[in-house]
Amino acid sequence: MAPQVWIVGENGEDIQEPKEFLPLSKLEDIGVLYWHLDPKKSESEEELAKIRKERGYSYMDLIEICPDKLENYEEKVKNFFREHMHADEEIRYCLEGSGYFDVRDKDDRWIRIWIREGDMIILPAGIYHRFTVDSANYAKLMRLFIGEPVWAALNRPQEDHPARQEYVKNVSGGTGFALAAH
Ligand SMILES: CSCCC(=O)C(=O)O
Ligand SMILES: [Fe+2]
């Protein structure tokens, strides 16, 4: 099952009634990759291993986002929801629970991606995004990275950052991401 994807407002509020769900191609256009694996099935372990190998994701850890499992919960959750980018890809695989990744589209609107158990997403370097848990208030996520992880969140604006400039070039270039996705 593909995740539900729709447009939300600046504070993450729904602004469409009824909600209009967007096709996954909308994510591809802005360089966001998506897979669904089943964390309870052994074939998924093979598929995960394959993705990790192909994309060079040598580093892996787990993060549980809930008040009693995450140190400095309030501060971390606040920072996750502040619009930011990274110099590298952000790779998250949802093992349990759920949450919302919001990413900016080409028109600078917030596209909300509802991630649930088994969903894996890759946000390209330089994309503005934010994260929040949903009403279930729990997400257990695997974090993957190429080499030594750098979690530094670079808050918007970052227009002079090389990763941002590269991202903007790929998005406006048309085919850049379509090729990267396959
Ligand atoms: C820990 S889930 C994702 C939040 C985020 O955008 C980040 O960690 O940079
Ligand atoms: Fe991030």
pTM to 2 decimal places: 0.95
pLDDT band for position 176 (cuts 50, 70, 90): low
Closest C-alpha among 144, 158, 181, 171 to residue 86: 158
pLDDT, position 144:
98
pLDDT band for position 51 (cuts 50, 70, 90): very high
pLDDT digits (tens, 9 = 90+) for 68-124: 999 999 999 999 999 999 999 999 999 999 999 999 999 999 999 999 999 999 999
pLDDT band for position 181 (cuts 50, 70, 90): very low
Report CA(131)–ligand 1 centroid distance (Å). Answer: 6
pLDDT, position 178:
54
Pocket of ligand 1 contains residue 80 by CB under 6 Å: yes
Nearest residue by C-alpha to atom 5 in ligand 1: 80
Structure tokens at 171: 């998005």
Structure tokens at 135: 């009403």
Pocket of ligand 1 contains residue 81 by CB under 6 Å: no
Residue-level length of the chain = 182
The ipTM estimated for the assembled molecules is 0.98
